[in-house]
Amino acid sequence: MLKNKIALVTGASSGIGRAIALVLAREGAKLTLSDLNIELVNETRELISAQGGESIAVKSDVGNAKACHDLVKLTVEQFGKVDIACNCAGIGGPSALTADYSLTAWEQVIRTNLSGVFYGMQAQIAAMMLQGSGSIINIASVLGVVGTPRSPAYVAAKHGVIGLTQTAAWEYGTSGLRINAVGPGYIETPLERSLVTSASAHDALLAAHALGRLGQPKEVAELVAWLASDRASFVTGAFYPVDGGYLAK
């Protein structure tokens, strides 16, 4: 499905980003994998090699605009183009009510989860415009369309990611770019485990999904692979939940 495609994935060390990298590679894409954690992103590269794929691993901070541009430049130098970009890096931030939320935490979460996607898109769009084609998939969340207590920065950032996605889809649709957002429900990853600290909170979370369970990273990755591919050629500006029914209530 993605033979001869070049993909860039941020947050590729862990959880959803690693699963996306593995599924895109399985479908035939060559990849640039980036993350703050170089050891773990190298591990993702080794997993891709073990399944016969090709990738490079780069340490890069999505909260640094220049680093985002350098990452795209490196991808084009290495592979000649960038067909697919998946902006997946993200953090949860602390749990606190809005009036008590620390300004430092607010700035950290907005920097990574919202500015990080904006910086990434700026660089990715510039490269894709030169080619006249490209598919960008931003990892938002179900919390990009509804609220939840004690995560004001995360919820605001994810709502922002969906708005950015819709705006850019309109701006670049006639230039051959498709730009979509994906909204995972709660997915079993290190990030989710850091947020859910008690057995009762875990049970409540299961009950919040119509399927009665949390998702697996690969279940998000399969949707991303489809959006990335030419099979989704008429899909842009869309927000696709992959949430076990979380938003269906």
Instruction: Give the residues lining the site for ligand NAD (CB under 6 A).
Output: 10-11, 13-17, 35-37, 61-63, 88-91, 112, 116, 139, 141, 184, 186-187, 189-192
CB closer to ligand NAD, 105 vs 129: 105
Extract the tokens encoding 176.
């051959």
C-alpha dist (Å) from residue 186 to 63, 190, 220: 24, 11, 11
Q: Which residues contact 50 (CB under 8 A, 6 or more apart)?
A: none
247 CB burial (10 A radius; 0-12, 13-18, 19+): middle
Q: Smallest gap, in angstroms, from Cβ of residue 190 to ligand NAD? A: 4
Q: Smallest gap, in angstroms, from Cβ of residue 206 to ligand NAD? A: 13
Active site residues per annotation: 154
What distance in Å separates the CA atoms of residue 244 and residue 108, rounded to the nearest whole number?
29
